[in-house]
A and B are shown apart, each in its own frame.
Chain A
Amino acid sequence: MAATRGELGDKLSNLSLFADLSAAELESVAHIVDERRFAEGERILRQGLSGSGFYVILAGEAIIRVDGKEYGRLGRGDFFGEISALLGDPPVADIVAARELHCAIIPGPALEQFMVGHPQVMFRMLQSEARKLRTATRWRS
């Protein structure tokens, strides 16, 4: 019989980042990650402030903002904060909730252990980073 998945496990199972995990692994991940809802206009990542985390959007929309200027939007299944968490540097952008935002969170210091323990998630994250890199370098070709 499959493991019973909680509410969060269900939400995570529908995101591509966690698509390769078994029910038992998902249940375990749902117990590891933190959850938080942000009010419209609330800052989640803060440009220049240390100690942030890795966030996956479960619902809602977020704005990427640098020096007060909007650079794009993020939605369900998108994640942010990984560069800051991986490199140990403060974020170079603000992330602000465009409307009520629901996120799963892994604290920065716990990200390495999480990724090494869940290589399928790490691979999906790497694919996503590769896509971002391809988009960023398209102008060269």
Chain B
Amino acid sequence: MVVVGSGPGGLQLSYALRYFGVPHAVISADPAPGGMFRRWPFFQRLLSWTKPFAPFERGTRFYERYDWNSLIPDDDQHRAIQPRLMDGTSYFPSRAEMEQNIATFARETGIRVRYGCRWTGTARDGEGFRLRTSAGEYRARVVVFAFGLAEPWKPEIPGIEHVPHYADTRAPETYAGKRVFIIGKETSAFELANGFLPWARQIVLASPRPTQLSVVTNSLVGVRARYVQPYEDHILGGGVVIMNASIDEVARTGSGFRVRTTRSDGGGTLVFETEDVIATTGFQPPLGDLPELGVVSSGREKIPSQTPLFESISVPHLYFAGTATRGAPGLKKNGIPSSSGAVHGHRYNARILARHIARTYFGIDPARPTLKRDEVLGYLLSELSRAPELWHQKSYLARSLLWDSARGIIDDGIVPLQLFVDGDGPDGVAVAVEANPKAEIYPAVYVRKNNVVTEHLLPTNPLLDFETAEHRSQLTSVLAPLP
């Protein structure tokens, strides 16, 4: 099999495949590991935190809940690489520290990648694929694309070809004293606006949809807290203008640009004269010829639509890893998305995918550990309180136990919740951590009995302690139907 990409997604998958003993090749167009982090974020600091000091010992599995950036090995020696590289000035690593973190993991765990090998085309080959690359052809039964969202995307607006993309942003001091019009109101738009606050004379952010803030949606949806400063400036009338408007046309003028907008609230047309325009309209995966092969995508970002096991819904045996696994949205309960768009979420998806590939294509299926019935309650409550997979991927990943007639109670590991609730199988239980828009975080328990799944939501707790007497008693009742 072949993995395309050497960012965090491809490296984590390669590591997990090697753990199962699955032979594979990793190819990458880049000269070195690190993917997007060798260029972005533009203002050089990540949004994802790593806490050097946390309630759990560094280098343990439970510590991963507080470290969003390290890749995850199966031994303690290579855990928690990111905090080793940080200097204490911020709990957000710098771009360079993140790149170093990814490269260190690749080096210390000995992941082998063929760098400088660009994937250029894809063809079917019986049940499998032929990949054309800049270094010759690869034939593979299974292929996994971990190519990130690396292709700048701009919407079809008349004149948009004159507008630089986020990826083409100049050094901040070159915007000194200028008016800057930013198309978009997502996190990257606010990242630029925040960085331009000491430089630009005026900053306008415009897009049809009202601004969403993560601290208001109570989820990862919306602008992240670090970049809310321009929003406050706008509210207090400090020179930043935030508008809900569609962009009708961008035209070049002698000194810059003229941007024509229509307000979404029926407020009519507004025209802006500005020295600079930047399209912070996002990135798409570099799909190449995959659409011609039959890979379907959805949404403005054109992320390939996937099954809960990260396989294209339209082209069998073609899988995705890394940020592209957002194309397997899961249950998305209460509208709260997965964390698959960032390392802290998709690193766990890679483990699940590696296990699936090992089992399905290579017949490698190591026996899972078993539990005694009187251990189940304590184990599930401990996982609900501490498991990093459940805390990072709420309503998305679950700890699953299966009641097997021959072996007894099997710990089936971390599985996609959608797979458990929609799939047939032996009686069992899956537990997930879930959240709602009221910012409550609580345990959810799904019991499967005779292929009927029932949902049981347990109460939240102000200290997020799910091992209280109340939780013990409620979970005991929920588990009663299982022998």
Which single residue of chain B is at the shortest CB-CB distance from A106? Answer: B335
Inter-chain contact A43/B422, CB cutoff 8 Å: yes
Inter-chain contact A39/B421, CB cutoff 8 Å: no
Q: Among residues 379 to 433 in chain B, which have CB atoms less than 8 Å away from a CB atom of chain A? A: 395, 421-422
- Determine the chain A residues whose CB is within 8 A of the CB of B454 once the complex forms: 48
Inter-chain contact A102/B298, CB cutoff 8 Å: yes
Inter-chain contact B455/A24, CB cutoff 8 Å: no
Stretch at the interface among A107-115, A120-128, A133-141: A107-115
- Determine the chain A residues whose CB is within 8 A of the CB of B436 once the complex forms: 51, 109
Quick one: which of A1, A31, A34, A37 contacts B249, CB cutoff 8 A? A1
Inter-chain contact A4/B455, CB cutoff 8 Å: no
Inter-chain contact A28/B244, CB cutoff 8 Å: yes
A35 to B434, CA, bound (A): 22
A71 to B298, CA, bound (A): 29
- Determine the chain A residues whose CB is within 8 A of the CB of B155 once the complex forms: 4, 6
- Determine the chain A residues whose CB is within 8 A of the CB of B156 once the complex forms: 4, 6
Chain A-chain B contacts (Cβ-Cβ < 8 Å), number: 104
Which single residue of chain B is at the shortest CB-CB distance from A29? Answer: B208
A4 to B39, CA, bound (A): 31
Whether, in the assembled complex, B329 has its beta carbon less than 8 Å from a beta carbon of chain A, the answer is yes
Whether, in the assembled complex, B468 has its beta carbon less than 8 Å from a beta carbon of chain A, the answer is no
- Write the A21-32 contact mask toward B (1 if CB under 8 angstroms, else 0): 010110110111
Stretch at the interface among B1-9, B80-88, B299-307: B299-307
Whether, in the assembled complex, A50 has its beta carbon less than 8 Å from a beta carbon of chain B, the answer is yes
Which single residue of chain A is at the shortest CB-CB distance from B311? Answer: A39
Inter-chain contact A31/B299, CB cutoff 8 Å: no
Inter-chain contact B300/A4, CB cutoff 8 Å: no
A51 to B262, CA, bound (A): 35
Q: Among residues 1 to 50 in chain A, which have CB atoms less than 8 Å away from a CB atom of chain B? A: 1-4, 6-8, 22, 24-25, 27-28, 30-32, 34-39, 42-43, 46, 48-50
Inter-chain contact B298/A3, CB cutoff 8 Å: no
Whether, in the assembled complex, B149 has its beta carbon less than 8 Å from a beta carbon of chain A, the answer is no
Inter-chain contact A8/B300, CB cutoff 8 Å: yes
- Determine the chain B residues whose CB is within 8 A of the CB of A25 once the complex forms: 264, 266
Whether, in the assembled complex, B201 has its beta carbon less than 8 Å from a beta carbon of chain A, the answer is no
Inter-chain contact B262/A39, CB cutoff 8 Å: no
Inter-chain contact B248/A4, CB cutoff 8 Å: yes
Interface residues of B, CB < 8 Å — how many?
A: 43
Quick one: which of B158, B244, B297, B331 contacts A51, CB cutoff 8 A? B331
Inter-chain contact A4/B332, CB cutoff 8 Å: no
- Determine the chain A residues whose CB is within 8 A of the CB of B332 once the complex forms: 53, 107
Return B258 CB to nearest CB of chain A, in Å: 13
- Determine the chain A residues whose CB is within 8 A of the CB of B260 once the complex forms: 1
- Write the A82-99 contact mask toward B (1 if CB under 8 angstroms, else 0): 000000001000000000
Whether, in the assembled complex, B255 has its beta carbon less than 8 Å from a beta carbon of chain A, the answer is no
Quick one: which of A4, A7, A48, A100 contacts B246, CB cutoff 8 A? A4
Whether, in the assembled complex, B209 has its beta carbon less than 8 Å from a beta carbon of chain A, the answer is yes
- Determine the chain B residues whose CB is within 8 A of the CB of A46 once the complex forms: 331, 421-422
Sample of 20 A–B contacts (CB below 8 Å):
A1-B249, A2-B248, A3-B208, A3-B262, A4-B157, A4-B158, A4-B247, A8-B300, A24-B262, A25-B264, A30-B208, A36-B298, A37-B296, A37-B305, A39-B313, A42-B313, A49-B455, A100-B296, A102-B298, A107-B335
What residues of chain A have their CB less than 8 Å away from a CB belonging to chain B?
Answer: 1-4, 6-8, 22, 24-25, 27-28, 30-32, 34-39, 42-43, 46, 48-53, 90, 100, 102, 107-110
Given contact pairs A27-B246, A51-B434, enumerate 11 new A-B contacts (beta carbons under 8 Å): A4-B247, A25-B264, A27-B208, A34-B335, A37-B296, A37-B313, A39-B314, A46-B421, A49-B421, A50-B455, A109-B436
The 9 A-B pairs with the shortest beta carbon distances in the complex, nearest first, are: A107-B335, A51-B333, A39-B313, A31-B209, A37-B305, A3-B246, A28-B208, A28-B264, A51-B334
